[in-house]
Amino acid sequence: RKEVEQDPGPFNVPEGATVAFNCTYSNSASQSFFWYRQDCRKEPKLLMSVYSSGNEDGRFTAQLNRASQYISLLIRDSKLSDSATYLCVVIPPDSGTYKYIFGTGTRLKVLA
Amino acid sequence: NAGVTQTPKFQVLKTGQSMTLQCAQDMNHNSMYWYRQDPGMGLRLIYYSASEGTTDKGEVPNGYNVSRLNKREFSLRLESAAPSQTSVYFCASRTQGRVSYEQYFGPGTRLTVT
């Protein structure tokens, strides 16, 4: 099993729709989780950290489910500008917090 | 505040040539990283530097060397480039907080080895 797994998509959704992505991780002791956004041919940019209590930032909500070992990202009222690849990132417990494991990303296309 | 900068943006090398990728950050971060990104494989860690004066191998260090020149700068060197090193290279640095380990990335270097 890969350390971090994501559905590659693409998820094609109309403007205004709500869309959710999941990301599963293999090491149950992992402590830190993030969602990054990456536009085509650009660098990854931090979207949000994922805390145990969840995290919300405007239209974006991130959740952590430790029992099932996944994190989720919910995007409400999708905009054309949300079209991008969303990367899930996990810091495994044996890395001294210095090593980050990146998923391969989920591609989102928001359609007019 | 430029964040993380990388040079060059693009580079084409012939097999066997050497080059150094430069990275600098102005956020006073202790930790810096080099990743490569290939289609379908996600970002993979090449080397990292937890603090000035230290460097450690990541997942794919073979064929690369690094130098943490000072707190701001972290360079990646390819001594003898191979076609398998064709990739996009990203440098990143990390925030200091004990509970926050957010990384910030530079714009990347697109390297082609022929």
Q: Tell me the mean pLDDT in the region A68-88.
A: 97
A53: pLDDT strictly greater than 80: yes
Ramachandran angles phi, psi of A90, nearest 5°: -130, 140
Q: What is d(CA A49, CA A31) in angstroms, rounded to the nearest whole number? A: 11
Q: What is d(CA B67, CA B77) in angstroms, rounded to the nearest whole number? A: 8
Q: What is d(CA A9, CA B24) in angstroms, rounded to the nearest whole number? A: 34
B39: pLDDT strictly greater than 90: no
**Nearest by CB: A98 against B31, B90, B108:** B31
Percent of chain B predicted with pLDDT > 90 = 79
Query: Which of A83, A95, A78, A81 shows the shortest CA–CA distance to A4?
Result: A95
Whole-number pLDDT of residue A52: 83
| Position B99 confidence tier, pLDDT thresholds 50, 70, 90 | low
- Does B102 touch chain A if contact means CB atoms closer than 8 Å? yes
Whole-number pLDDT of residue B5: 97
B83 near B12, Cβ under 8 Å? no
**Nearest by CB: A49 against B43, B56, B102:** B102
Q: Which of residues 10-49 of B touch A (CB under 8 A)?
A: 31, 33, 35, 40-45, 48
Percent of chain B predicted with pLDDT > 70 = 95
Whole-number pLDDT of residue B98: 60
